[in-house]
Chain A
Amino acid sequence: MNRMHTLAKIMLCGIGIFFAIRLTSSMVTLTWMAIAAPARLSILVALFWTVIIGSCLAVVLYVFLYKREELAKKIVGASELPEPDSQIQWLPVAFRLVCVAAGMYCLHIVLWNMTYTLIQYFSFKPYAAQAGYKVMYTAKILNIEQILNWLITLAAGIYLVCGAPHFVRWQVKKTLEQCKPQAQTKKNQ
């Protein structure tokens, strides 16, 4: 098993834990709803969904945690892959990749919020003549604070997608500073 297999195993395990957290949280919420409001959600329906979510949880744990080795082999393939060149300066590259991923996420959030607000605005425009809708949707849809939040998120997203050179440089410097004394302490011991 080469390094790519182990990486795939770790990623699969991470995905498994991620979904396990989501499913466990849903199970607790569902049980709570069944106990708190039996009129809204009968005990039987709650039990049914708890069993289904529990089964999903079991499948997720079995596939992603117990059978992760087989799955990793299937994903990566059986042949031995060449090891990546260890001489590459991976720290700035990794930070840059992280920044680009975070930037994409920021842009996604801005796009999602803008689309949602526009849809909301156009959906309720025909009703705008009615007093209730007017108050509810013209006052709250767009305000300075929201636009400011979008602009900040957009600026942060663009900066991060561009690779955030200053931030990466600062992080690399700080990381090297932090790791240096620890390594020296160990060496002195």
Chain B
Amino acid sequence: MTKMQTLAKTTLTVLGIYAVLTLCNSYPGRFMYIREQLAIMPEILSLSAFTVLATLAVYFIIFNNTTFSKRIAGPGEIPEPRKQIDLLGKSLRIGLVFTGLMLLPRSIPTLTKTPKMFLLIGSAIDDIVISKRYPRMLILSYSEWFRNTYDFLKAMLALYLICGAPHFIRWQLKHSLCRKSNIDQTEIPNSSIANSERAENE
């Protein structure tokens, strides 16, 4: 993978995260209409459309974007494998930290609300155990439930990305290594890349 292909891969990953968040942001309104039973079928159809788009974004733009990135950046000079891995790890981390930092300002209200929610859980348990009634703080509409869950997950995602998303990067590096070794096995034995790698291994 060339340097530019690596950059394209990072850009695609960042855009994929943005796409998923944008698509999921439209969910609460749909749930509100289902709750009010105004029009169930269109809601289900639009929810399915958004879910399919989000799944496609996750699969093709976030996780399996190597082919797409190669098509975007085009061919170029391939650096040695160690440099490729180094560059991919670093660029992915920069891109993901940037995404996390951009999500942070919108997630701060959720983060400040979360400790308050944990304090209120005590009174909710009291309501259930002592008063034997459904706690007031949990009486929410579907759209509110979804909005709160979405905000909470977004805040957690922001924190994970700010920490550098180590698991995701490790998976991407491992995946890229596996792909690379598979390609190498089918490569012409006298090609310049194969020769350089062989020399390095020796």
Contacts and interface: CB of A to CB of B under 8 A. Distances in A.
Contacts of B57: 21
Given A32-B42, A32-B46, A25 B97 contact: no
A145 B94 CA distance: 32
Contact of B98 (A36, A101, A185): A101
Interface in B143-177: 164, 166, 169-170, 173-174, 177
30 contacts: A6-B4, A6-B73, A7-B7, A10-B73, A11-B11, A13-B72, A21-B15, A21-B18, A25-B22, A25-B23, A25-B53, A29-B46, A32-B46, A35-B42, A36-B39, A36-B42, A37-B38, A91-B94, A102-B98, A105-B102, A106-B104, A149-B112, A156-B108, A171-B97, A175-B164, A178-B166, A182-B174, A183-B85, A185-B177, A186-B177
A186 B98 contact: no
Contact of B89 (A6, A32, A171, A179): A179
Contact of B18 (A18, A109, A157): A18
Interface string A5-36: 01101110110011001101100110110011
Nearest to B84: A186
A57 B56 CA distance: 18
B15 A18 contact: yes
A31 B45 CA distance: 10
A186 B82 contact: yes
Contacts of A36: 33, 38-39, 42-43, 46
B135 interface: no
Interface in B10-29: 11-12, 14-15, 18-19, 22-23, 26
B74 interface: yes
Contacts of A17: 12, 15, 19, 61
Contacts of A105: 101-102, 105
A112 B108 CA distance: 15
B105 A14 contact: no
B90 A91 contact: yes
Interface of A: 1, 3, 6-7, 9-11, 13-14, 17-18, 21-22, 24-25, 28-29, 31-32, 35-37, 91, 94-95, 98-99, 101-102, 105-106, 109-110, 145, 148-149, 152-153, 156-157, 160, 171, 174-175, 178-179, 182-183, 185-187, 189
Contacts of B174: 182
Interface of B: 3-4, 7-8, 11-12, 14-15, 18-19, 22-23, 26, 30, 33, 38-39, 41-43, 45-46, 49-50, 53, 57, 61, 72-74, 76, 81-82, 85-86, 89-90, 93-94, 97-98, 101-102, 104-106, 108-109, 112-113, 164, 166, 169-170, 173-174, 177, 181, 200-201
B4 A152 contact: no
Contacts of A149: 108-109, 112
Contacts of A35: 39, 41-42, 45
Contacts of A18: 15, 18
Contacts of A9: 72-74
B164 A171 contact: yes
A56 B181 CA distance: 42
